[in-house]
Amino acid sequence: MTHLSEDSKRLRIGHIPVTHKEIISKELVDFNDVCLLILPLTQPDQRSNPTELVNSLVDSVVEHLGAKATLITMGETIDLVHAHARLSSSMQYQLWVAIKRTSLKISKDNSVLPEYHFGALVHTRYNGSLNHTKTRIKYTYCPACERTTKDYGGKKHTYSSYGTLLSDVWRDISADLEKDLSGIIERFADLFGLETYSQLLVLDCRNLKQPTVVEKREKYTLQTSFFSPSQNKTNQSRLILGDSLEELRKLSDNSIDFAFADPPYNLSKKYNNYTDDLSITEYFDWCDEWISELARILRPGKTCAILNIPLWDIRHFLHMERILQFQNWIVWDALSFPVRLIMPAHYGILCFSKGPSRPLPGLMDQAEEFHIKNSSKTFQPLAPLGEGYCLRSTCVRTRQLMDIDDRGPLTDLWWDIHRLKHNSRRVDHPCQLPPQLMYRLITIFTEPGEIVLDCFNGAGTTTLTAYQLNRQYIGIELSEKYHAISGSRHREILAGLDPFRKVKRKLTEKNSPVERMPVQTYEVPKKTLQLEVRRVARILGKLPNRDDMIEHGKYPIEYYDNYFVSWGEVCAAARHEGMSEEKDSIQKTSSVIQQLNLFS
């Protein structure tokens, strides 16, 4: 078993093969446990089940669910989008779990990235946050340096010795929808092993006979010239200060080769000049409008990619599939650290083409080599790191020196690109993307010389990377401040500077909802204070409160008051025994890295 659920009473697993829909009503009578609905398998020549079939299955399950029930729906990404559309009015959305496939699904014509994940949607009948057990997965270790795959930095004393909290991307186990799903099912049985539940009922519809599909969606018709190279005679590159919708309306039909959008998420983020909290209907009406504009200006056969949180992606998907053709739902596991129970760690990048897609430039034999002055020599956009290798730059470099093949296939599941963590790489924008993400997207979806458009250009990550990759660019940004930042970074590139270099800057915009502490000198390191709390906790047999620390602690209470954001942070090390990043100090003497060190 690769996970550990604290205080879990594993649910009894019932398995019902559903051969006709009526079985569902018989098995689910005022059901108040956990139901796992596995959607029918898609036909080999299709990417999804007919919407009517998904709807009718979902309806017949929901009808019987009581007020405490949890419903997990498992299936292909597109089917889950339609399942959610049907469920959203009667159940509370909780989570989208992306699950790694064991076998890649590869398209013959290279028009989509190989598919490497399916999903499980979790909905509840109750409102409020999801009830589940605290579940951890074991730390994984890099086969080369034998240290943890993630770099836990200076916080090791605050982590569990067993493993890290489960996130919403399951890569430590894998399965195929057509085959044995028992590992996944057992994990759900532990995850929901709460007092309130006793069974996990699996309604397995994989072999349910499907009606014949009638394709009803209207699509753009393909123009004959679509494989011919884009005719970009004059350089179109520019940064535009203005409202995306207004500016998009000024652009000609069929004029853009890759449209990317990282819109505001409407999560009350504090942007300069923009309020990120429209009503949800207003937000999506607005999104539908600019997405339709992107579809209009996109050249046939080319791709539009939209990055958002999974729940919003579902809604974008429903609009996009009416006017464009689905290519990939890229899961970007942005490698956050676990800060709450099931940590939402991923974003979806929805990729749709205008009409059938051309073969993707990044998947062709002649895919370009990646050379960016000053960029890390170890990052290759079209050759991601293989599963399990760590991202520590020293280890990556040593692996290169030793000619260890640490690369894996390019798929629609990305885990080797971090969100920007170090402030030294940030400019004054609350949510700039890492350049590596854009290097990858741009090299997959475009050829040199083509036009890349970002209608929410922020601090300019897209336009800067497009320029570095010899693409033309158009960036639209509403805020004068961010527009000015991207402008000055473009001037830096022209002056030969790396716009993504580390610089000590005074940042005013926050990239995290957690209050930032003022810069200060610590009389005693925070780690020492947290370990002191652990010592006191052991004596008292409980987590100490402030008064306990005044009475039993060695250090003035003001240190705790002034150095930490919350009492939870003060007690972080007292809740855990701490972890080591070394897999096994004895084994390590024989590890590859030792041989590698001989060379350095």
Ligand X SMILES: C[S@@+](CC[C@H](N)C(=O)[O-])C[C@H]1O[C@@H](n2cnc3c(N)ncnc32)[C@H](O)[C@@H]1O
Binding site for ligand X (CB under 6 A): 243-244, 262-264, 271, 274, 429, 431-433, 456, 458-459, 461, 476-479, 482
The residues facing 35 across adjacent strands are: 71, 201
Closer Cβ to ligand X, 444 or 570, answer by number: 444
> Closest residue to ligand X, Cβ-based?
458
Number of CB atoms found within 10 A of residue 209's CB: 8
- Minimum separation from the CB atom of position 306 to ligand X (A): 11
Q: Which two tokens stand for residue 228?
A: 């011919």
- Minimum separation from the CB atom of position 244 to ligand X (A): 4
Question: Residue 414: which of 459, 380, 452, 367 has the closest Cα?
Answer: 380
Closer Cβ to ligand X, 189 or 307, answer by number: 307
In angstroms, rounded to a whole number, what is the distance separating the alpha carbons of residues 32 and 360? 47
- Minimum separation from the CB atom of position 431 to ligand X (A): 5
Closer Cβ to ligand X, 181 or 478, answer by number: 478
DSSP 50: -
Residues in the chain: 600
- Minimum separation from the CB atom of position 459 to ligand X (A): 4
Q: Which two tokens stand for residue 72?
A: 């997990």
> CB–CB of 262/289 below 8 Å?
no
- Minimum separation from the CB atom of position 460 to ligand X (A): 6
In SS3 terms, 101-168 reads as EEEEECCCCCCCCCEEEEEEEEEECCCCCCCCCCEEEECCECCCCCEECCCCHHHHHHCCCCEEECEC
- The torsion angles phi and psi of 120, rounded to 5 degrees, stand at -135, 125
Number of CB atoms found within 10 A of residue 111's CB: 18
Closer Cβ to ligand X, 467 or 482, answer by number: 482
Closer Cβ to ligand X, 428 or 582, answer by number: 428
Closer Cβ to ligand X, 358 or 489, answer by number: 489
- Minimum separation from the CB atom of position 233 to ligand X (A): 28
- Minimum separation from the CB atom of position 449 to ligand X (A): 23
Closer Cβ to ligand X, 49 or 266, answer by number: 266
- Minimum separation from the CB atom of position 271 to ligand X (A): 5
Closer Cβ to ligand X, 380 or 432, answer by number: 432
In angstroms, rounded to a whole number, what is the distance separating the alpha carbons of residues 202 and 12? 10
> CB–CB of 157/527 below 8 Å?
yes
- Minimum separation from the CB atom of position 478 to ligand X (A): 4
Closer Cβ to ligand X, 112 or 291, answer by number: 291
In angstroms, rounded to a whole number, what is the distance separating the alpha carbons of residues 209 and 226? 38
Q: Which two tokens stand for residue 231?
A: 């005719």
Residue burial 190-208, b: 16+ Cβ < 10 Å; e: rest? bbbbbeebeebbbbbbbeb
